[in-house]
């Protein structure tokens, strides 16, 4: 479990096909303090550490994970938002994040607004019931507050405000129209929707 508060930006140094993809990520984490088998969120995807070296972590990425994440994500040179798993007693600075990607969205617009960036993301229409103004959503592993929502016939668009600090400590400085991003809905919204579905079926 994670909070959506990024603590390092890593870079993919190598990608090897070994049944699944073996991805080696350069990081500023103290890798000696990270156990094999530990979970690390990589741009919103919960992965297991399968090998390590000083300044390097290796993960196996299954075909299922590749198929459900942003195109081009698992390529050499790609920067990733990293977060270690939540530990008992840690501050819950964002919101509860599981590291499971619900959908891939596309950046529709990036507009400077004051010192911040106003980012509009278009997502599949079936995500619409889970996206609410002032609610939480995870974009590439970052916990964010939704500022606005626009329902469209075949999609939902929502607006986010990226403050300078967030852009500086994440990959969001690289965002531009057309960029694919991993989305995870708020787990509370997921359960509320499921409760409504179950109630309607009885």
Q: Which of 84, 112, 137 is the endpoint of a domain? A: 84
Domain shared by 107 and 171, yes or no: yes
Q: What is the pLDDT of residue 188?
A: 79
Domain shared by 110 and 42, yes or no: no
Question: For residue 80, what pLDDT band results from cuts at 50, 70 and 90?
Answer: very high
Q: What is the pLDDT of residues 167-200, one digit of tens each?
A: 999 999 889 999 999 999 988 777 777 777 777 7
Q: What is the pLDDT of residues 13-28, one digit of tens each?
A: 999 988 889 999 999 9
Q: What is the pLDDT of residue 71?
A: 93
Domain shared by 79 and 125, yes or no: no
Structural domain contains residue 148: yes
**Beta strands of 92-168 (E only): which ranges?**
103-113, 116-124, 136-139, 142-151, 155-162
Q: What is the pLDDT of residues 2-55, one digit of tens each?
A: 989 999 999 999 999 888 899 999 999 999 999 999 999 999 999 999 999 999
CB of 55 within 8 A of CB of 26? yes
**Beta strands of 38-135 (E only): which ranges?**
39-42, 45-53, 56-61, 79-84, 103-113, 116-124
Domain shared by 108 and 68, yes or no: no
Beta-strand relationship, 136-139 and 103-113 = unpaired
Q: Which of 84, 114, 135 is the endpoint of a domain? A: 84
Structural domain contains residue 2: no
Domain shared by 112 and 79, yes or no: no
Domain shared by 58 and 112, yes or no: no
Structural domain contains residue 91: no
Domain shared by 139 and 193, yes or no: yes
Q: Which of 24, 57, 84 is the endpoint of a domain? A: 84
Which residue matches tokens 């972590």?
Answer: 57
Domain shared by 41 and 130, yes or no: no
Structural domain contains residue 3: no
Read off the tokens for 6. Answer: 């990024």
pLDDT > 70? residue 91: no
Structural domain contains residue 116: yes
Calculate the CA dihedral of residues 47, 58, 71, 44 and round it to 10 degrees.
30
CB of 97 within 8 A of CB of 46? no
Domain that holds residue 143: 103-201
Task: Label residues 77-101 b or e (16+ Cβ within 10 Å = b).
Answer: ebbbbbbbebeeeeeeebbbbbbbb
CATH classification at residue 57: 2.40.30.20
Q: How many structural domains is the chain composed of?
A: 2
Range with the poorest average pLDDT among 16-20, 71-75, 97-101, 179-183: 16-20
Structural domain contains residue 97: no
Radius of gyration of the chain (CA): 17
Domain shared by 125 and 186, yes or no: yes
Domain shared by 195 and 110, yes or no: yes
Structural domain contains residue 93: no
Structural domain contains residue 20: yes
Domain shared by 77 and 137, yes or no: no
Domain shared by 109 and 75, yes or no: no
């Amino acid at each position: 479990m994670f909070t959506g508060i990024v603590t390092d930006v890593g870079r993919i140094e190598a990608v090897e096909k070994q049944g699944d993809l073996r991805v080696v990520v350069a990081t500023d984490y103290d890798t000696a303090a990270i156990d094999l088998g530990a979970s690390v969120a990589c741009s919103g995807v919960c992965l297991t550490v399968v090998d390590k070296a000083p300044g390097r972590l290796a993960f196996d990425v299954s075909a299922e994970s590749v198929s459900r994440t942003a195109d081009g994500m698992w390529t050499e040179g790609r920067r990733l938002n990293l977060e270690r798993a939540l530990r008992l007693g840690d501050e819950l600075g964002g919101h509860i994040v599981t590291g499971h990607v619900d959908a891939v969205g596309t950046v529709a617009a990036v507009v400077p607004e004051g010192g911040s960036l106003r980012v509009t993301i278009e997502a599949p229409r079936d995500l619409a019931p889970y996206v609410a103004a002032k609610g939480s959503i995870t974009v590439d592993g970052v916990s964010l507050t939704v500022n606005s929502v626009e329902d469209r016939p075949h999609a939902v668009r929502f607006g986010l405000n990226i403050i300078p600090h967030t852009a500086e400590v994440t990959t969001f400085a690289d965002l531009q129209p057309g960029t694919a991003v991993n989305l995870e809905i708020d787990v509370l919204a997921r359960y509320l929707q499921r409760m409504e579905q179950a109630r309607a079926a009885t």
